[in-house]
Amino acid sequence: MSTVKNVLNFAAEQGAKFVSVRFTDLPGSWHHLTYPISQLTEDSFEDGFGFDASSLRGWAHIHESDMLLVPDASRFWIDPFADETTLCLIANVMEPITKDGYGLDPRSVAVRAESYLRFTGIADTAYFGPEAEFFIFDETRFHNDQYSAGFTVNSEEGHWNSGRTGGETNPNTGYHIRPKEGYVPVAPMDTLVDLRNQISNTLGDVGIDVECHHHEVATAGQCEIDFRFSNLLHTADNVMLFKYVVKNSAYIHGKTATFMPKPLYGDNGSGMHCHQSLWKDGNPLFAGDQYAGLSEMAKFYIGGLLKHAPALVAFAAPTTNSYKRLVPGFEAPVNLAYSARNRSAAVRIPMFSPSPKAKRLEFRPPDPSCNPYITFAALLMAGLDGIQNRIDPGDPLDKDIYDLPPEELANVPSLPGSLDEALTALENDHEFLLKGDVFTPKMIERWISYKREKEITPLRLRPHPLEFSMYYDI
């Protein structure tokens, strides 16, 4: 029985009334079109569904807007939040004339990256395991007017509520998490255990295997839910579904979830550390007899990541807010070094298990605001470039980078300090992404222009509330 028949049989068994066909725009948000289930046939997986791509962020111009959504039959589930039984499918965006993957479709980039990996003969599978942190707030407000701007977030866990006047329906119990002291406390300090349990159960229902969940370091509802690794494309799909489940679960419980990397001043931001390994014919390729149990291939992969890291973060830390997390001297790894166990290095080699199958690398600068398809593809391409060109990452740095004296720290290269600097790095270093037509010059140019025109320039033009505190009385 074909995979397509599996999808159609599953839809019939579940009594699906509709099918939601989902795709990802350039910045990394999910969109969908919904059809009566009768519209889904075997031909749909070849012919696709036509749609207008001209209104999507960063995509086609009005004169080239006709595109196809071609569902991938390897990933399907029932939407846990829809009142009517709805089958969900993830689609690639295709050019209607050539039937090639649309050059600006993020998922098509990931498909081409996996194809290029197999073409090189270096490996046949790249496994990715992301750790996407997030905040769950009780309330969020923000506004940006010509004459006024500001934001407010609130959580009952927040330490600022320790002096709140309570009432009969909402008493102040005194259980609040101090700044930077939110790592894995039990209830009643951790108020989100039951919600994370429910999210984990829902993730299991839609095919994502949860391995662990816990409260994270920051006050006010910072959480982490870890799920099992998979190949590059499947993991990127899972990240999109994971964010959907987290946001909707919070919403139906009267709360709000955000994957914004730095919503709170003076406390930890949310990262998305990315574990990576290459395999071939079922065998792990990153285990060996070199530093921290690595193979020579793994060291060269690290060399590629570190060499191209300034350009990579244009995708992996893709918002202006990302660089409020990536600040020297704080919790995020901005210094380009590698180390076993050292969490202050941009690349860490986890040492939890001696098993060759567990040997992997962890790239720590990414955050969950990134588009996972583009980010994972870029990381793989950087690592492959390191292997192909035997890029030596140098000696490991088995010290706390934050405690290094200035003269020693000066020898450690660092990440860009802003999104604009990262985009400049990408402009100057992207040839490695063009191999195998995985990325196209048009896609990279569109990414850079979109980020500068739609995100950097609007922020640059606006007065900031802190500027009033610093300069109003000049």
Q: Give the per-residue pLDDT at 62.
A: 52
Q: Of 215, 234, 308, 364, which is the active-site residue?
A: 364
Burial of 84: CB neighbours in 10 Å, binned 0-12, 13-18, 19+ = exposed
Tell me whether residue 22 is one of the annotated catalytic residues: no
Residue 402 has pLDDT above 70, yes or no: no
**Cα–Cα–Cα angle for 88, 36, 249, rounded to 5 degrees:** 35
Q: What is the CA radius of gyration of the chain?
A: 23
Say if residue 296 is in the same domain as residue 160. yes
How far apart are alpha carbons 265 and 465 in whole angstroms? 13
Dihedral of the CA atoms 357, 291, 126, 426 (nearest 10)? Answer: 160
How far apart are alpha carbons 105 and 231 in whole angstroms? 19
Domain final position from 68, 102, 136: 102
Say if residue 87 is in the same domain as residue 141. no
56: amino acid identity, one letter: L
**All residues at 6 or more sequence positions from 200 whose CB lies less than 8 Å from its CB, including other chains:** 210, 213, 225
Question: Three-state SS for 65?
Answer: coil
C-beta separation of 276 from 348 below 8 A: no
Q: Region 306-316: what's the mean pLDDT?
A: 98
Q: Of 72, 79, 157, 224, which is the active-site residue?
A: 224
CATH number of the domain within which 392 lies: 3.30.590.10
Instruction: Note the pTM of the prediction, 2 decimals.
Output: 0.96
Tell me whether residue 42 is one of the annotated catalytic residues: no
Distances (CA, A) of 9 to 15, 85, 111, 234: 10, 14, 26, 22
Q: Give the per-residue pLDDT at 60.
A: 65
Tell me whether residue 364 is one of the annotated catalytic residues: yes
Q: Give the per-residue pLDDT at 142.
A: 96
Tell me whether residue 131 is one of the annotated catalytic residues: yes
Say if residue 130 is in the same domain as residue 84. no
- Give the CB-side neighbour count of residue 258, counting CA atoms within 13 A: 18
Place of tokens 């099992």: 228
Structure tokens at 12: 């019939």
Q: Region 123-129: what's the mean pLDDT?
A: 98
- For strand 18-24 and strand 86-94, is the pairing parallel, antiparallel, or unpaired? parallel
C-beta separation of 351 from 292 below 8 A: yes
CATH number of the domain within which 8 lies: 3.10.20.70
14 domain-assigned: yes
107 domain-assigned: no
How far apart are alpha carbons 158 and 115 in whole angstroms? 46
**All residues at 6 or more sequence positions from 224 whose CB lies less than 8 Å from its CB, including other chains:** 131, 132, 133, 134, 213, 214, 215, 216
- Could you give the number of structural domains in the chain? 2
Q: Of 72, 105, 114, 133, which is the active-site residue?
A: 133
Q: Of 343, 390, 462, 464, which is the active-site residue?
A: 343
Say if residue 353 is in the same domain as residue 391. yes
Instruction: Dump pLDDT digits (tens) for 48-104.
Output: 999 988 888 888 665 567 899 999 999 999 999 999 999 999 999 999 888 888 989
Q: What percent of the chain clears pLDDT 90, i.e. is strictly above it?
A: 84
Instruction: Dump pLDDT digits (tens) for 162-221.
Output: 999 888 888 999 999 999 999 999 999 999 999 999 999 999 999 999 999 999 999 999
Domain final position from 34, 68, 102: 102
Q: Give the per-residue pLDDT at 412.
A: 84
Question: Residue 376: which domain range?
Answer: 125-471
Say if residue 41 is in the same domain as residue 144. no
Q: With bands split at pLDDT 50, 70 and 90, how would you rate the model's confidence at 376? A: very high
Q: Give the per-residue pLDDT at 2.
A: 61
Q: Give the per-residue pLDDT at 352.
A: 83
> Minimal CA–CA distance to 349: which of 366, 357, 332, 361?
361
- Mean pLDDT score of the chain: 94
Tell me whether residue 224 is one of the annotated catalytic residues: yes
Q: Give the per-residue pLDDT at 443.
A: 95
Q: Of 273, 275, 325, 360, which is the active-site residue?
A: 273
How far apart are alpha carbons 322 and 78 in whole angstroms? 33
Q: Give the per-residue pLDDT at 64.
A: 64
Q: Give the per-residue pLDDT at 331.
A: 66
Q: Of 52, 209, 395, 467, which is the active-site residue?
A: 52
309 domain-assigned: yes
Q: Region 413-439: what's the mean pLDDT?
A: 97
Q: Region 233-244: what's the mean pLDDT?
A: 98
Say if residue 90 is in the same domain as residue 131. no
Burial of 215: CB neighbours in 10 Å, binned 0-12, 13-18, 19+ = buried
Tell me whether residue 343 is one of the annotated catalytic residues: yes
Say if residue 208 is in the same domain as residue 321. yes
Q: Of 79, 138, 157, 362, which is the active-site residue?
A: 362
Domain final position from 67, 102, 137: 102
117 domain-assigned: no
CA 455 to chain centre: 18
Say if residue 72 is in the same domain as residue 161. no
User: What backbone phi and psi angles, to 5 degrees, belong to 156?
Assistant: -60, -25
113 domain-assigned: no
C-beta separation of 225 from 96 below 8 A: no
376: amino acid identity, one letter: F
118 domain-assigned: no
Instruction: Dump pLDDT digits (tens) for 265-285.
Output: 999 999 999 999 999 999 999
Distances (CA, A) of 340 to 165, 191, 207, 346: 48, 34, 32, 11
Residue 1 has pLDDT above 60, yes or no: no
Tell me whether residue 133 is one of the annotated catalytic residues: yes
Q: Of 114, 138, 216, 367, which is the active-site residue?
A: 216
109 domain-assigned: no
119 domain-assigned: no
Say if residue 274 is in the same domain as residue 347. yes
Say if residue 173 is in the same domain as residue 283. yes
Say if residue 70 is in the same domain as residue 171. no
**Widest pairwise Cα distance in the chain:** 75
Say if residue 55 is in the same domain as residue 183. no
